Structure 1
Amino acid sequence: MFEKFTKISLLILSIFMSCCTSIKCQNKVDYSWILGTYNFENPNITIIKFNSDTILSVSAVKGDASVYTDAGLICDTDGNLKVIATNCAVMNSNFDTVSNSNLLKDRYLNYCQERNGAFWPFEQSVLVLPFIGDKNKFRILFTNTQSISTEQDSLRSFFYSYLNGAVIDFSKKEHGELINVWQRLYNDTITVSHITACKKDNNEDWWIILPMDGRPRYSILSYSIDTIEFFKKDCLGKIGFNNIDFEGQASFSPDRTKYARFNIANGLHLFDFDSKSGSLLNPRLIKLSVPPGNISGGLCFSPNSKYLYVFCDKLLYQLDVSNPDVESTKVLIDTLDLTSGKEYIASFNHGLLAPDGRIYISGIWDSKYLNVINSPNCKGKLCDLVQQAIPLPTKNSWGVPNYPHFRDRKDVPECPPDKTIEWSESNYKIEFKESFLTYDFKSSKPKSISFYELSGRLIKLIELTNSNGQINIEFLSNGYFIVKIVCNNRQYIEKIIKL
């Protein structure tokens, strides 16, 4: 009897370990991030290491190649970096270029001809995925680029590409070898940017989405244990991206029900996604008020897939994508604070959901900070955006890693109950009379009241001792301001005007 029980126990353990190998062991493959900038003389790189709760470390290393914009990365099962891929070079965990990495420099427009991997300007143009069925290999998907003028073809972007592939193999060489380089995976023309992927329902295979060049179409590829192959094209609506389609960011939601693509030049393109059939559905074009003079920007879904954050250089929006009327839900979370006195501040460009459940946001051009959304599952300003929250030891240009979602992120708690209470007129009363603000919080005792410019700069913070009272606001000039009142763990925020 004991022997039979032991055999059954071992069988169950074996099944469990098998599941761990195929699913659970992928849970830390995005636990290390790489950020950098174009510097072929001194390619210093920032490495950020996470656990499921917080950032563990931020440090600088020197690599054989520069990392510029959104690198393709993957870690081992313990969360340590395994592959760092740009479109110009592939490095291993020692930040050494792997064997045959130089073959990637064979490109049309000579972007990769400088020393140390040089300069590749196109965003989300490389993606690293597990090699299904072989833990010693990884697949690299990447674009090349060719240029075309509007006189030659008015429908095409300034740049276009095909999808290429390579494999990095650690089975024969400990430090890695690049094989099957420049394998043509898809022959129709696509944009040079926005390679994205999500898992299929079996949690092993993948869907890969490629925006078509110059058309409102998306090519969908299927990646299984045998091959990457064309699956279908979805032609959606009449409005696609214009010839500025190489900037911005695209992403799936963690639950794989939404797909979004954005840059400032083209607006937010939002779709439903059917992970069973691999179909994009219900196209929506959402216009946002954006600052002039920029074409980039980015986006990121919340862990619960309910909210979409859109990054517009100096503006940051939140939208509720669970609402049928998505556009009506947009909230301006904040504007970029230009008064901090810090050098190389990060604007709002690309965002990525981290292992700790927070969203980290890079800046445009060179910056030495990351912005962070601490509670992205919370509605409106309760999401707790902190600007310039994470100082970096090296400069970072434009991007964050181009990681797909390896898990559904149900591990991230929903918004805490004490943050979700909505204020109503029965909770408070605020009035403005001449140069005074009168407040009355009937059911709570406020702790403080703060006045902010629309840029986010703090004008004045006043500690409060009573649940009602009057404040002289002669220190405010005429115009619009943000008022924030903190009561215990709740906060009330309102836009006001002083005439």
Structure 2
Amino acid sequence: MGRLDYENRAIDFDYTGTTIADTAGNFLFATNGVTILNNANDTMQNGTGLSPSTYSSPQWFGDGLRIPQATLILPLPGSANLYYLFHMTVDTINIPIYSYYFYYSLIDMSLDGGNGAVVAKNQLLYTGLFSPGGIAACKHANGRDWWITIHDELGSDFHFFLLTPVGVIFMHSQTIGIRDGLGTYCFSPDGTKFGGYNTVDDFEIFDFDRCSGMLSNFRQVVINDSTSWFGSAFSPNSQYLYGSSLRYLYQVDVTSNQPDTTFKIVGIWDGTYYNTHPATFGLLGLAPDGKIYITTPGTTPLMHYIEYPDSNGIACNVIQHSVTLPVYNSATVPNHPNYFLGALVGSLCDSLVGSNELSINPIKIQPNPTQGIFQIVYPPQSQNGSMELIDLFGKIIVVEQIPPWSQLKNVDISELSSGIYILKILWGNNVVYGKVMKE
């Protein structure tokens, strides 16, 4: 595990939380579903009163919405300053709960001295009886535009929208699968699969066509348990889908046409409490270091993580309550798509191929010199890579894998002797070298 950076912010988060940074990694703004916070740690101009409803009022949830995946931020293709915030809330107070409205708001980061301002707020995009939350996005096969999807609360309808340089439009609805409960949904990092885990239907898995925005090949994995939580995340290599069910963590292989035969329990809650709160399994999120981090449903500072999510079964190595945050976390993970997915080369709609291709840039090693632990920062790649640490005699000292789409890796050489080591990173036929000095 690497260093945890913490900065106090002026708004709180409670299940709902989304952030966005620029291409250099500089924080731009964040939202808890009710308020938008700018990069000056202040409320963004015109940044209050999102998704108006009784549920969104300060009397109910002044700390932010309690709806996983109720917000999502995407850059407007081709623009350096404009960002679309997609959002929804609960529009009914009684059970069953529904979202009647799917909104977007437009943020211009060139305003207010670079702190940004909301130039269009609560713009109604679509109406229906939606499941609150569950907003997900994936790059179009042209490598530029974005598919955005939400789904109905009851029934089997998904609704797809397309964000292009001229704005966002509704594209189509599709009836497929079965859906009767609350859940979280996401696209695989390579964009070929869509899936999730919910409180009634358990695992739902689909193939996804990035050209047409259509789902196909529905598969369900039914689990005999009393699901009360519903986190989900794909592995970096897009082969495995993980789900959380409070006391258990599950894994299925989405590349199989019979994923129920691949179902495995990879984690069982070890009974740990923080004060009076059980540190069980909550929401899941795939992080830039290639690991999957897991919140606790109760308010604790503890998180779990899956160390090797590309590995089958218990080899994925679930490490419980091993991350202690400097503050309490109320089951909040940011809702991020794969921003780095490029065009689908060879497809019928890769007309923009080349505009979003990933390149191998020089890596960054920090701190360097190091007393033992350092971090490698590199551009995300669509394939597995490997890292080798070599001494000056040419002997390979350390070999580790680099997951696809990851952006950073923490390395511990505390046990090695002081001196200079050569760092070698391979992605297919591409090789990048660096130099590390151990003090």
Shorter-chain TM-score: which interval?
A: 0.7 to 0.9
Q: Distance in 2 between matches of 1:70 and 1:298?
A: 13
**Cα distance, 1:374–1:145 mapped onto 2, change above 3 Å:** same
Q: Which of residues 75, 81, 85 in structure 1 aligns to 2:31?
A: 85
Runs of at least 5 residues in structure 2 that lack an aligned partner in the other structure: 342-379, 388-439
1:121-136 to structure 2, matched below 5 A, reads: 121-136=66-81
1:221-240 to structure 2, matched below 5 A, reads: 221-237=161-177, 239-240=178-179
Runs of at least 5 residues in structure 1 that lack an aligned partner in the other structure: 1-53, 151-156, 417-499
Secondary structure in structure 1 of the residue aligned to 2:260: helix
- Deviation at 1:226? 0.7
1:77-476 to structure 2, matched below 5 A, reads: 77-104=23-50, 107-114=52-59, 117-147=62-92, 157-174=96-113, 175-237=115-177, 239-241=178-180, 244-245=181-182, 248-290=183-225, 292=226, 295-339=228-272, 344=277, 346-408=279-341, 410=381, 413=384
**Cα distance, 1:162–1:376 mapped onto 2, change above 3 Å:** same
- Deviation at 1:120? 1.4
Q: Distance in 2 between matches of 1:102 and 1:341?
A: 34
Q: Deviations over 1:360-386 (max 9, x none)?
A: 111112121111111111111111211
What TM-score do the two structures reach when normalised by structure 1?
A: 0.65
Q: Distance in 1 between matches of 2:200 and 2:66?
A: 17
**Cα distance, 1:287–1:76 mapped onto 2, change above 3 Å:** same
1:479-494 to structure 2, matched below 5 A, reads: none
2:56, 2:89 within 8 Å by CA — same for their partners in 1?
no
1:254, 1:407 within 8 Å by CA — same for their partners in 2?
no
Q: Distance in 1 between matches of 2:64 and 2:57?
A: 6
**Cα distance, 1:110–1:317 mapped onto 2, change above 3 Å:** closer
Q: Distance in 2 between matches of 1:78 and 1:126?
A: 22
Residue aligning to 1:26: none
Secondary structure in structure 1 of the residue aligned to 2:49: helix
Q: Distance in 2 between matches of 1:228 and 1:314?
A: 40
Q: Distance in 1 between matches of 2:171 and 2:274?
A: 51
**Cα distance, 1:414–1:384 mapped onto 2, change above 3 Å:** farther
Letter in 1 for 2:250: Y
1:129, 1:138 within 8 Å by CA — same for their partners in 2?
yes
- Deviation at 1:208? 0.6
Secondary structure in structure 2 of the residue aligned to 1:372: strand
Q: Deviations over 1:161-217 (max 9, x none)?
A: 211011111212122211210111123342221010000112210001110232211
- Deviation at 1:55? 3.8
Q: Distance in 2 between matches of 1:99 and 1:339?
A: 43
- Deviation at 1:114? 4.5
Per mean C-alpha deviation after superposition, the further-off stretch among 157-166 and 373-382 is: 157-166
- Deviation at 1:266? 3.1
Residue aligning to 1:468: none
Matched, 1:67 2:13: yes
**Cα distance, 1:125–1:270 mapped onto 2, change above 3 Å:** same
What TM-score do the two structures reach when normalised by structure 2?
A: 0.74
**Cα distance, 1:79–1:56 mapped onto 2, change above 3 Å:** farther
**Cα distance, 1:375–1:329 mapped onto 2, change above 3 Å:** same
Q: Percent identity?
A: 27
Q: Which of residues 58, 67, 70 in structure 1 aligns to 2:5?
A: 58
Larger helix proportion of the pair: 1
Count residues with an aligned counterpart: 348
Q: Distance in 2 between matches of 1:169 and 1:133?
A: 14
- Deviation at 1:341? 7.2
